[in-house]
Amino acid sequence: MRKVVIFGSCVSRASFDRPDLKPRLAHYHARSNLTSMTRLRPLDPMPEIEMESPFERRCAERDLSKNFEFEQSGAVVIFDFIDDRFPVGSMGECSFTYNHLMIERNRTAFARAEPFPHYEPGNRGFMRQVVREFADANDALLRNNTIVLHEAKFSTFFDGENPTPDEIASMNAYYDFLFAEIKRVWKVDHVVNVMERVVSPDCTPRDHKWGHAPFHFDDGYNAAFADEVGTIVVS
């Protein structure tokens, strides 16, 4: 059975609750932006991380220790970059994901952390360099696996108060830039984009089990992505 590895977010992971796909999921990591996954100097000393969710704690610890498990071969590796919504944090020589939930729960440990909004338009050059650095450092990962880019973005139909429509537009402009750079520089075997399925506020339900957010999509989105990626997995 061909295994699947996800470096991304719940936007990709949710589709793997489908019975024919769930057994294939071998590894899932979330809550890391691309810069943190590229610049691999760990935080030293490593603080004790307090989070309510064991999953959130594991992701935070992996992000800080840089134990991403990129040593894959023969897998379908899915990348999505919803979690590039988090700024790049820095402490000393460590670049990490400035996950607001982690920072809030561990204020003392990260009192010296400096956030850098890599997604702002003035920082495109920085991100071009990061995209290239990742490709150079992870040639074996990109070459020895089937790479799937999941082009998930924020819903422009989102009817919550945070983020605002202007913030959504700005973040989506960043995603468009990032996707284009990745397709230009990396070996990407498949691109999956089912954003045309997002046509109303109902596509990001207010009663979503993980909360109301512009990237917490409904079952229809998850099914459409599962259909696309399922074809890739069994091919």
Q: Which whole-number Å values give the CA distances from 143 to 34, 71, 176, 232, in the listed order?
A: 18, 12, 24, 16
State the pLDDT at residue 212.
98
* pLDDT tier for residue 82 given thresholds of 50, 70 and 90: very high
- Dig out the tokens for 112 from the structure: 């010296």
Q: Is the dihedral of CA 138, 142, 144, 146 positive or negative?
A: positive
Alpha-carbon gap, residue 194 to 181, rounded angstroms: 19
Alpha-carbon gap, residue 39 to 35, rounded angstroms: 6
CATH number where 72 lies: 3.40.50.1110
Q: Are 200 and 214 in contact (CB under 8 A)?
A: no
Alpha-carbon gap, residue 134 to 182, rounded angstroms: 10
For 103-125, the pLDDT digits (tens) are 999 999 999 999 999 999 999 99
Region 146-166 average pLDDT = 97
Q: Which domain covers residue 125, as residue numbers?
A: 4-234
Beta bridge partners, 116, equal 88
- Dig out the tokens for 129 from the structure: 């360099």
What is the percentage of the chain residues whose pLDDT exceeds 90?
98
Q: How many domains does the chain have?
A: 1
- Dig out the tokens for 28 from the structure: 């899932």
Alpha-carbon gap, residue 189 to 179, rounded angstroms: 13
Q: Using only C-alpha atoms, what is the Rg of the chain?
A: 17
Residue 235 has pLDDT above 90, yes or no: no
State the pLDDT at residue 185.
98
Only one residue has tokens 């932006």, namely 33
* pLDDT tier for residue 46 given thresholds of 50, 70 and 90: very high
- DSSP string for 20-79: TTGGGEEEEEES--HHHHH--PPPSSPPPP--SSHHHHHHHHHHHHT-------S-EEEE
